[in-house]
Structure 1
């Protein structure tokens, strides 16, 4: 996490993969960063439970408003 990051209340970071946050990033209330996901295609989800994770990078000076989900 970079310098001068502002996280408003209830910021959630679910990190099954790396999360990188640049400097001077602003998070509004209840913003969520979730690296875990599941296939959108029904055929890939049938049978076994299937999950994967992808990294998230938030660049310098970004502003993520209230209730944003990444």
Structure 2
């Protein structure tokens, strides 16, 4: 059995505790997976890469929520 998935990604300035609450919020909402990885942003600034795995039919809702919560 296979399932289709959608993966949404965004880069954020590092937010430490806020990033963890973001991860908890999306997992509690029933998304398939949430990863927050350290990333190097322009001018060698540290940042976070946020990846959310969800069902394709949830893609718009998740993108809207991610934008509202992060401002991106």
TM-score scaled by length of structure 1: 0.27
More helix by share: 2
